[in-house]
Amino acid sequence: MIAILLTLIVFIVVIVTIATEKMNRAVISLLGAIFLFLFLFFYTQNISNTLAFPWKFNFENLSNLLILILDIKPFEKLSLLLFQNDYLSPFQFFNIIDFMVGTREDNFNNLHSIILILGIMIQVGICHEAGVFQFVALNLVKSSKGDPNRLLLICCLLSVFLSSIINNILTVIVLIPLTIMICRMLSINPVPYILSEAILVNIGGIIFPISSVPNVLISESGGLNFIHYLIYIAWFAIILLLVTFLIFQLYFKKKLKVPESRLVRVLEEFNPWNFVPNKQLFYSSIFSLIITFILIIAIPTFTDIIALTLGLLLIIISKINASDAIKTIDFELILYLLGIFIITGCMDYVGIIDSIGFALKHITGGSPQITAQVSLWIPAFLSSSIDNIPITSALIPIMPILTFNFNTYQSQVSYFALGFGTNLGDNLTPMGDNILVMNLTKQHGIELKFKQFFKIGFLSTIIQLSVTSFYLAILMSF
């Protein structure tokens, strides 16, 4: 019992520290992982019983001593619950390796996820340096001709499109400064456009198995590929986009200002090629990204190897400095993932995952319909104030318990529900990645209040989740 309590406390401390930004997320996750490794190693080896005390120290004897002195039976039960660890096998270093990369039984899912993330990071980083995303974004914004509703739609489309290819943080880093620059050129309020982009990045994050880290983890664990996402998710993401856009139009109706025609002409004269430092790198990075998507769809078995190979080939073909390309990799994210993998692995090892899984199984009663709804709403509310990566990592081992005796289709829909919940729930509060949005706007001299974000974020996300809930109910009815 003490192993369960301490492991759970470490997990809570890690996610609270991350949520409050008290410490770097990679550092705190690795510290938590190291602490749990040392604790479980010594605890399961019964080191306390082999130390050279004058008399043999034994927790069971201590329990009996308490009973003899106090003669209160609850103390015996409490002591045995806290200190009896016979049910845990000795914890070894190879357990840590299994947690980080996976095992043969789960097809080394964690290692595949990390390789895929690395490959996509290299390509996306080079595309960003080549100005691909900025070039595309500015060209589309210029096509709005200054019409506020059309500009809002373009910002929404851009946000979903970019976040379906690159991670949400990079999408925000690309779009928010660009949006602020455009709005200042047009002398209009940028807040409606910034809020719309920030909320919609999470819809883009559900479209493909490579669109977000939770999707990568879920697709590897659930056996989902690009075709599955195209059939069940991509088109539905467009429905969510349209529904959300209508909400934005109604909500921001009085705040969308038509710019002066002379300012629109200034915007139209702005050259998008100013964002492109090297045209050869620009075209080669686009080609590499397109080929990656085609091959991942055609050969879904080796998505991670394909992404990494093409990323490395892009470095060679584009003749850029390899050191510069490697700098584009977010190693903090990789270390963070390794720490989280170990912590959630320890949670599984001491039985927390099984306990939660069987408790949820009892709630669902083994019903595929209820399982889909539970897999959607619980992760959504957990992700509203906690980083969705550890939530996803903790919930993935529970899915086989919840989907036990389901057919392949019902199991896949349940994993899709988990993906919807962990991605969409991020906007229920201005926590998580949205803190970055608020910081970026502040750096550019624009005040974006917590209350502003919360009102539109909570409203739009509840509607998105409700629409998704209805869609999952339809899928499970087949």
Asked if the structure places residue 27 within a domain, the reply is yes
Do 50 and 172 fall within a single domain? no
pLDDT value for 70: 45
**Choice between 62 and 353, residue whose per-residue pLDDT is larger:** 353
256-278 confidence digits (pLDDT tens): 888 888 877 877 788 888 888 88
- Tokens 């970019």 belong to 162
Nearest to 156 by CA among 140, 167, 132, 169: 140
- Compute the average pLDDT of residues 376-385: 87
| Cα 248 to Cα 257: distance, rounded to the nearest angstrom | 14
Do 147 and 246 fall within a single domain? yes
Is residue 82 scored above 70 in pLDDT?
no
Do 92 and 216 fall within a single domain? no
For the chain, what is the domain count?
2
Asked if the structure places residue 341 within a domain, the reply is no
Is residue 385 scored above 80 in pLDDT?
no
Asked if the structure places residue 217 within a domain, the reply is yes
The 8-class DSSP code of residue 329 comes to S
Cα dihedral 43/46/51/56 (nearest 10): 130
Q: Are 140 and 103 in contact (CB under 8 A)?
A: no
**Choice between 75 and 37, residue whose per-residue pLDDT is larger:** 37
Is residue 20 scored above 60 in pLDDT?
yes
Region of 167 on the Ramachandran plot (φ > 0 left; ψ -120 to 50 alpha; else beta): beta
Do 76 and 147 fall within a single domain? no
CA-based radius of gyration for the chain: 25
Do 151 and 82 fall within a single domain? no
- Tokens 């043969």 belong to 104
Supply the range of the domain harboring residue 18.
Answer: 2-101
- Compute the average pLDDT of residues 28-52: 76
Over the chain, what is the mean pLDDT?
82
pLDDT value for 87: 59
Region of 429 on the Ramachandran plot (φ > 0 left; ψ -120 to 50 alpha; else beta): beta
Nearest to 453 by CA among 465, 444, 442, 469: 442
Do 382 and 256 fall within a single domain? yes
Asked if the structure places residue 10 within a domain, the reply is yes
Asked if the structure places residue 273 within a domain, the reply is no
Q: Are 267 and 182 in contact (CB under 8 A)?
A: yes
Asked if the structure places residue 30 within a domain, the reply is yes
Q: What band does 59 get if pLDDT is binned at 50, 70 and 90?
A: very low
pLDDT-wise least confident of 40-49, 138-147, 317-326, 447-456: 40-49
317-376 confidence digits (pLDDT tens): 877 777 877 877 878 888 988 998 899 889 888 888 887 888 888 888 889 999 999 999
Do 20 and 97 fall within a single domain? yes
Region of 46 on the Ramachandran plot (φ > 0 left; ψ -120 to 50 alpha; else beta): left
Is residue 429 scored above 80 in pLDDT?
no
Specify which of 69-78, 450-459, 469-478 reaches the highest per-range mean pLDDT: 469-478
Asked if the structure places residue 199 within a domain, the reply is yes
Asked if the structure places residue 300 within a domain, the reply is no
